[in-house]
Structure 1
Amino acid sequence: MHLGPPPSRPLVLLTALLGGPAVADDLFVDSQALPQILTATRLRQSPAAVPGSMSVLDSELIRASGARNVPELLRLVPGMMVGYGAGNQPAANYHGSSVNDARRMQVLVDGRSVYRAGLATVDWGDIPLALEDIERIEVFRGPNTVSYGANALMAVVNILTRSPADSHGTRLKVIRGQRGIDDWYASQGLGWEGGDLRLSLSGQQDDGFDHNAQGQHYRDGRRLTRLSLSASHALNAEQSLDWQFSAKEGSEQRPYAYTPVFPGVSGAGANADVNAKDYAASVRWNIDLDPWHSLYLQGSALHWDRQQVWRACDAAIAFSPQLAQLWRLNPGYTERLARNIDAPIPPGSDQEQALAREVRQQWHNGGANPVCGDIDQSTRESRLDLELQDTLSLSDSLRLVSGVAYRYDRADSQTYYDGSLDDTTWRLFGQLEWRADEHWIVQGGAMFEDTRLAGSSLAPRLAVNYLITPRHGLRAVYSEAVRSPDMFENNVNWSYRVDNLRPAAFGQRHAEYFVTTRGPGDLDQERMRSQELGYNGFFSEIGLSLDIKLFHDQLTGMVSEPLRNNRPIASNANKARFTGSEAQLDWQLRSADRLRLTYAYVDAWASNPDDRHLSARNSGSAGWLRDWGRGWSSAVFYYGDDALNQYRFERVDLRVARRIPIRNASLELAGMLQQRLDDEPTSNWQNRYDSRQVLYLSAELEF
């Protein structure tokens, strides 16, 4: 059957290059169902029609990888930089720029943001979600402020969980291995007329890295337990209700890392372990008004609670009111005085020198004596998020998604905010898809966002896709994106109140440490301009998916200063540029074999040296999944970065599994071996293992 005018000669030649007659046959009519992507524009689209680059990690890939957390899975995404601050502090960022804090990447669980605005980070290891409950992970590789707001500056990671309807029955799983690995998972799913429910319980534990750069034991182990409840109800033929509740409780080890400012103090304090409790709940009301018009209303609430109380020691002079006054007057001058308290008083203004003389006198009158006290560095953060989205097919060739969202954030911390701080955000968004004909798609969208503490912004995107066939498309994308400074960057009021001082300092059992940090309060948004050219295609005859991307991204107004006390306050003084290419190949060679390859070349330049170190010029992965029959399967993966934070990373992972049917149940036994091919630290000079390999085993029973 032939529809429309005959293809031009150049188009025939191009289709021949793409796959010959098999591709030419479905040039105008494609009888096979196309896979669907949701994260890119909030509209369901085929991969070839998406206005950007996508990576999809499906359930088969997640299971075969043997990964124990989401950042390890993201090694399968081209251009994703994965590192560790410590063994219990994994981190991931797209193209780099800040590997320790995911400040420029939006992370969602079923559309609900898990980004912590109060401390400008994502707690990857603390997301209250077991990997066994994940159906797929969609990663939009590029700026997507248009769809998801100001934190989607460089990428969006959307973690989609399994539907309760697909989770009936019982699953039990245990993982044991070296480095203290001790994980478990249990779930029960059931259904009734019009509804389904899944309850999951899980836990994780490991010892982290073995030793630091000095060969000492690295205190970075973790332990956590999680609960997740997910349900779906069909109210009638047109309406459904989905709701979720999750909770997490755990602890993370933190070493005593405080270095006394003043000489002669050697008393050790206590370790600064963190006890965490997280809660999240969401409800979504889906309404299909007719086959061409649908909407949903979603509300979610999140709460993060981090309790961290530790004991530190320094000289009594650290709590001098005169030294604190001098710090507020001139931090740089004060630090020079404190670091060389016995040296001659540094030159300065009359007021600075007068205060310095008082401090020097206090130092000689007992201020040099060591004192120890308790520091409460606990934080609590809460979020309320409401969103209304409308999806409308205006015609056979025109679709519109639009919506409005409201978010309220509150952070409570005596240390970071001298009490509490809150913020409100309003968003208006829209995305229009126009299929000019069966080949050309024009897509445009914008997001208007107003944040009480950071002001308003507008982010547009324009994309043109040319569909050679429904499964093969070329794209050209221009987008502008913003990132609003977070509460921590812009409004931090960082000071330490130390309790139970022994002995007392200047007659006080409770005193303020002299160092304080105040946020500027007037930071502007970071801004990105991004250009992308790409190709996405699926060669159905041979089961090959291919995505190629060329990109050029420019960031201005970057807030790059380390978020640490006694450092310069944040500013918009930095900028960066990322240029390069990415490729992703997923090939179902035969029913038994699957091959996956990724590669990214990133030419990164940044005005801040720290940002330059956190991008690997060459990175990638290679994986081979094999079903050997009779229940046996294997998967081998290679991951490599040439220089992430100046350290090379190369690792091979091998997973071998056997599935054994037992009447109405099945048992899977698996072994996982990870072998480092280099002898480098893992993204940080402190992160070291005694052995370059680790082995862990798992057993999973389903019935």
Structure 2
Amino acid sequence: MSFGSASPHSPLVLALIFSPPLLADDLFLDSEPLPHVLTATRLKQSPAAVPGSMTVIDSELINASGARDISELLRLVPGMMVGNITGNQAAVNYHGTNASEARRMQVLIDGRSVYRAGLATVDWSDIPVAMEDIERIEVFRGPNTVSYGANALMAVVNIITRNTADSHGTRMKVTRGQRGIDDFYASQGVGWDGGDLRLSLSGQQDDGFDSDRKGADYRDSRRLNRLNLAVSQTLNEQQSIDWQLNAKDGSNQRPYTYRPVFSGITAAGNNSDVVAKDYAGSLRWNLDLNPDHSLYIQGSAQHWDRQQTWRACDAEVSFSPELTQLWQLNPNYTERLARNIERYLGPGAPAGTAAEQALANQVLDQWRNGARRTLCGDIDQSTRESRYDLELQDTLSLSDSLRLVSGLNYRYDRADSETYFNGTLDDTTWRAFGQLEWRATEHWLLQGGAMFEDTQLTGSSLTPRVAVNYLITPRHGLRAVYSEAIRSPDMFENNVNWSYRVTNLQPTAYGQSSARYFVKTRGPGNLEQEHMRSRELGYNGFFAEWGLAVDVKVFHDEITGMISEPLRNNQYIASNANSSRFTGAETQLDWHLGSADRLRLTYAYVDAQASNPLDAQQTARNSGSAGWLRNWGQGWNSALFYYGDDALNGYRFERVDTRIAKRISLGKASLELAGVLQQRLDNQPTTFVDNNYDERRVMYFSAELAF
């Protein structure tokens, strides 16, 4: 695959437009059942009828990729920008925007959001689901606030786990390899009259990147363990219940990045690792009133706990009440004074207002009188977030040509952090949504939907979507889509109350063993919602005779009112002053060549223009993937994947992954042995300058026993 400067144009689209009768006679007639996707509109639809672009990563692709993380699987999605903040912190964005946060993409597990509203992020490595429990991942590539509310601004990733009825038996798997890779998975599935259960235990660990920009060891390893329990129970012909319990416990190392503000102070150099614990539970009641009418009620509860403490050192004057007052008056003036305090000892306070100079001179006197001495204490940057969610959805076929899905949703979010919020902060969200699908004729499909959303901290919004699909046949469709979407500023962005209380100070600061650092950051409290307008033209088709599925789209997306500032304590001044524009084309091709071979290609050309350079750093103009899956017979199979982008945060990324596996029959049991080799073709850091490997290749092996 080569990355040129021009966007792709499929000859299939031109053929469909100019000679549909001929193609219909030759290629379109078949008796195979239509595939369906659900994530786009909450209605079961064929890919050709979807009002937008869909990518489905099925179980065969998941297994063949050898990927250990969900974020790595998303490299198979055209237009998805996948990088790393550190080894255990993936950065995933669709088309781009801020390089270190996934603020504008909704991520679901079986319909339950795992987007953390408190700190505006998704912890990709901490998602409490094992790769082996995933049946498929459906990605809606485009805004979908209409179906899933705020945060579905640019894309929706829906991780769908395996049906419990298909999980009977025992599976055990171990994975070992270079870079400290040490994973395990074990599951037990059972069934009874009307019910099924799957219990799985899994764990992951690795050492992350090897060295930072200076060649020093990089502290970013991770260790985690997960428990998942899924149960399905049929109550009668019309009713069933599904419930799940999930738990995750682990630790993520963090490089020690704290630097004292005042010159001459030596940092403590202790670790700042994160101990992460996640808990989630959900219960869903399904009711089929008749073949044309169904509804469900789903409730869920989630809790994220991140414990992070470290020891830091700075000058005693860091805790001066006068310096704190000065910061509240003028942060820039205060930082200039603190960074250059020795320079001002002779001439006195730098130029400023009378109040600023008076406070600055008091701080200088404290420095002269001994407040320059070094103090060390404990910093606690822990956070706890909780979410309670209740949703009702009704799906109704009004006639053979008219379908409606509608629903209500209530969500309560609570964030607790002494550092980020000076206590607790909560928010409530109410939603009402609807999507109407009208088959006007045999070929024309009209769709419209809207979401009304009201949040306690931000206010209300109404976002629409309209789409026209021309179905050449049920398997081939052209589409034109216009949609609007919003993203509400999250608690951190809008309402942060950020300061550090340092405890166990030795020696004491101004006679106190506990004090707050002079730097304090307050959110504006009046941020408005980001607003996106999206226009898309596309084609989706499946040539059953060839086993070939194709999707092509061209798009123009505009985001206004963007909140682009990085989340930093002493530099965070949030506003809605920024905007971005994304224009380009994407294509994906999935080709089953008989029963033995499968080829898969993706490509995205994205031209990004942003008022804030940070929002263009995570966009590669050219990116894509290529894969070849082969079943050699006699239990042997192989997969070869290429992933590449020309510049992500300024660094090129190219990698080839090879997986070879052998399945051995052991009576009623089977054993699969597999090896994966990942080879980097470039010699650059991964996304950020500190993410470096000593070797450009890594190997790991797995053994899986099923019976």
How far apart are the structure 2 equivalents of 1:315 and 1:307? 26
The answer to whether residue 591 in structure 2 is matched with residue 576 in structure 1 is no
How far apart are the structure 1 equivalents of 2:599 and 2:16? 29
The answer to whether residue 129 in structure 2 is matched with residue 124 in structure 1 is no
Q: Provide the residue aligned with 1:153 in structure 2.
A: 153
Report the alpha carbon displacement of residue 364 of structure 1 after superposing the two structures with TM: 1.2
Q: Provide the residue aligned with 2:612 in structure 1.
A: 608
2:337 partner amino acid: L
The answer to whether residue 377 in structure 2 is matched with residue 355 in structure 1 is no
How far apart are the structure 2 equivalents of 1:584 and 1:143? 19
Report the alpha carbon displacement of residue 32 of structure 1 after superposing the two structures with TM: 2.2
How far apart are the structure 2 equivalents of 1:529 and 1:170? 48
How far apart are the structure 2 equivalents of 1:223 and 1:192? 35
Report the alpha carbon displacement of residue 243 of structure 1 after superposing the two structures with TM: 0.2
- 2:19 paired residue among 3, 14, 24: 14
Q: Provide the residue aligned with 1:198 in structure 2.
A: 198
Could you tell me the TM-score, scaled by structure 1's length?
A: 0.97
Helix, strand or coil for the counterpart of 1:343? Answer: helix
Q: Provide the residue aligned with 1:621 in structure 2.
A: 625
How far apart are the structure 2 equivalents of 1:17 and 1:604? 39
- 2:634 paired residue among 618, 630, 637: 630
Q: Provide the residue aligned with 1:497 in structure 2.
A: 501
Report the alpha carbon displacement of residue 267 of structure 1 after superposing the two structures with TM: 3.8
The answer to whether residue 553 in structure 2 is matched with residue 549 in structure 1 is yes
2:410 partner amino acid: Y
1:235 partner amino acid: L
Q: Provide the residue aligned with 1:251 in structure 2.
A: 251
Report the alpha carbon displacement of residue 102 of structure 1 after superposing the two structures with TM: 1.0
Report the alpha carbon displacement of residue 91 of structure 1 after superposing the two structures with TM: 1.7
How far apart are the structure 1 equivalents of 2:372 and 2:164? 63
- State whether residues 269 and 372 of structure 1, in contact with CA within 8 Å, keep that contact through their aligned partners in structure 2: no
Helix, strand or coil for the counterpart of 2:146? Answer: helix
Helix, strand or coil for the counterpart of 1:453? Answer: coil
The answer to whether residue 665 in structure 2 is matched with residue 674 in structure 1 is no
The answer to whether residue 469 in structure 2 is matched with residue 465 in structure 1 is yes
Q: Provide the residue aligned with 1:50 in structure 2.
A: 50
Q: Deviations over 1:212-247 (max 9, x none)?
A: 000000000000000000000000000000000000
Q: Which is further off, 49-58 or 248-257? A: 248-257
Report the alpha carbon displacement of residue 98 of structure 1 after superposing the two structures with TM: 2.0
- State whether residues 642 and 656 of structure 2, in contact with CA within 8 Å, keep that contact through their aligned partners in structure 1: yes
How far apart are the structure 2 equivalents of 1:630 and 1:679? 38
How far apart are the structure 2 equivalents of 1:12 and 1:95? 28
Report the alpha carbon displacement of residue 309 of structure 1 after superposing the two structures with TM: 1.2
How far apart are the structure 1 equivalents of 2:319 and 2:643? 49
- State whether residues 42 and 401 of structure 1, in contact with CA within 8 Å, keep that contact through their aligned partners in structure 2: yes
- State whether residues 311 and 376 of structure 2, in contact with CA within 8 Å, keep that contact through their aligned partners in structure 1: yes
Q: Provide the residue aligned with 1:89 in structure 2.
A: 89
The answer to whether residue 475 in structure 2 is matched with residue 488 in structure 1 is no
Helix, strand or coil for the counterpart of 1:691? Answer: coil
Q: How does 1:411-426 map to 2 (within 5 A)?
A: 411-426=415-430
How far apart are the structure 2 equivalents of 1:20 and 1:377? 65
Q: Provide the residue aligned with 2:172 in structure 1.
A: 172
The answer to whether residue 596 in structure 2 is matched with residue 595 in structure 1 is no
- Residue ranges of structure 1 left out of the alignment (5+ in a row): 1-9
Helix, strand or coil for the counterpart of 2:120? Answer: coil
How far apart are the structure 1 equivalents of 2:648 and 2:25? 41
Report the alpha carbon displacement of residue 254 of structure 1 after superposing the two structures with TM: 1.2
Report the alpha carbon displacement of residue 382 of structure 1 after superposing the two structures with TM: 0.3
Aligned residues: 689
Report the alpha carbon displacement of residue 11 of structure 1 after superposing the two structures with TM: 7.9
How far apart are the structure 1 equivalents of 2:669 and 2:267? 59
2:322 partner amino acid: Q
Q: Provide the residue aligned with 1:7 in structure 2.
A: none
The answer to whether residue 323 in structure 2 is matched with residue 323 in structure 1 is yes
Helix, strand or coil for the counterpart of 2:645? Answer: strand
How far apart are the structure 2 equivalents of 1:476 and 1:435? 15
- State whether residues 221 and 252 of structure 2, in contact with CA within 8 Å, keep that contact through their aligned partners in structure 1: yes
The answer to whether residue 524 in structure 2 is matched with residue 520 in structure 1 is yes
How far apart are the structure 2 equivalents of 1:663 and 1:35? 34
2:618 partner amino acid: L
Report the alpha carbon displacement of residue 16 of structure 1 after superposing the two structures with TM: 5.7
Helix, strand or coil for the counterpart of 2:332? Answer: helix
- State whether residues 594 and 625 of structure 1, in contact with CA within 8 Å, keep that contact through their aligned partners in structure 2: yes
Helix, strand or coil for the counterpart of 1:588? Answer: strand
Helix, strand or coil for the counterpart of 1:60? Answer: helix
Q: Provide the residue aligned with 1:693 in structure 2.
A: 697
Helix, strand or coil for the counterpart of 1:360? Answer: helix
Q: Deviations over 1:528-551 (max 9, x none)?
A: 000000000000000000000100
Q: Deviations over 1:578-632 (max 9, x none)?
A: 0000000000011100000000000001000111111000000000000000000
How far apart are the structure 1 equivalents of 2:445 and 2:185? 45
Q: How does 1:294-309 map to 2 (within 5 A)?
A: 294-309=294-309
- State whether residues 295 and 392 of structure 2, in contact with CA within 8 Å, keep that contact through their aligned partners in structure 1: yes
Q: How does 1:332-411 map to 2 (within 5 A)?
A: 332-344=332-344, 345-411=349-415
Q: Deviations over 1:118-160 (max 9, x none)?
A: 1110001001100000000000000000000011000000000
Report the alpha carbon displacement of residue 342 of structure 1 after superposing the two structures with TM: 1.5
- State whether residues 673 and 702 of structure 2, in contact with CA within 8 Å, keep that contact through their aligned partners in structure 1: yes
Would the alpha carbon gap of residues 209 and 11 (structure 1) be closer, same or farther in structure 2, given more than 3 Å must change?
Answer: closer
1:556 partner amino acid: T
Report the alpha carbon displacement of residue 20 of structure 1 after superposing the two structures with TM: 5.4
Helix, strand or coil for the counterpart of 2:140? Answer: strand
- State whether residues 259 and 267 of structure 2, in contact with CA within 8 Å, keep that contact through their aligned partners in structure 1: no
Report the alpha carbon displacement of residue 268 of structure 1 after superposing the two structures with TM: 2.1
- 2:433 paired residue among 429, 435, 446: 429
- State whether residues 81 and 99 of structure 1, in contact with CA within 8 Å, keep that contact through their aligned partners in structure 2: no
**RMSD over equivalenced CA pairs, Å:** 1.1
Report the alpha carbon displacement of residue 577 of structure 1 after superposing the two structures with TM: 0.2
Report the alpha carbon displacement of residue 569 of structure 1 after superposing the two structures with TM: 1.9
- State whether residues 98 and 616 of structure 2, in contact with CA within 8 Å, keep that contact through their aligned partners in structure 1: no
Report the alpha carbon displacement of residue 17 of structure 1 after superposing the two structures with TM: 6.6
- Residue ranges of structure 2 left out of the alignment (5+ in a row): 1-14
How far apart are the structure 1 equivalents of 2:464 and 2:289? 29
2:356 partner amino acid: E
Would the alpha carbon gap of residues 674 and 20 (structure 1) be closer, same or farther in structure 2, given more than 3 Å must change?
Answer: farther
Q: Which is further off, 355-364 or 336-345? A: 336-345
Helix, strand or coil for the counterpart of 1:564? Answer: coil
Report the alpha carbon displacement of residue 379 of structure 1 after superposing the two structures with TM: 0.6
Q: Deviations over 1:656-677 (max 9, x none)?
A: 0000000110000000000000
The answer to whether residue 445 in structure 2 is matched with residue 441 in structure 1 is yes
Q: Deviations over 1:297-351 (max 9, x none)?
A: 0000000011111101111111111000000011011011111111232210000
- State whether residues 224 and 248 of structure 2, in contact with CA within 8 Å, keep that contact through their aligned partners in structure 1: yes
1:524 partner amino acid: E
2:551 partner amino acid: D
1:144 partner amino acid: N
Q: Which is further off, 683-692 or 364-373? A: 364-373
Helix, strand or coil for the counterpart of 1:337? Answer: helix
Helix, strand or coil for the counterpart of 1:308? Answer: strand
- State whether residues 246 and 280 of structure 2, in contact with CA within 8 Å, keep that contact through their aligned partners in structure 1: yes
Would the alpha carbon gap of residues 676 and 18 (structure 1) be closer, same or farther in structure 2, given more than 3 Å must change?
Answer: farther
Report the alpha carbon displacement of residue 31 of structure 1 after superposing the two structures with TM: 3.2
How far apart are the structure 2 equivalents of 1:291 and 1:108? 27
1:414 partner amino acid: E
- State whether residues 551 and 580 of structure 1, in contact with CA within 8 Å, keep that contact through their aligned partners in structure 2: yes
How far apart are the structure 2 equivalents of 1:253 and 1:342? 36
Report the alpha carbon displacement of residue 12 of structure 1 after superposing the two structures with TM: 9.6
Q: Provide the residue aligned with 1:5 in structure 2.
A: none
Q: Deviations over 1:495-531 (max 9, x none)?
A: 1000001111111110000000000000000000000
Structure 1 stretches of 4+ moved >2 Å: 10-20
How far apart are the structure 1 equivalents of 2:16 and 2:572? 58
Would the alpha carbon gap of residues 12 and 54 (structure 1) be closer, same or farther in structure 2, given more than 3 Å must change?
Answer: closer
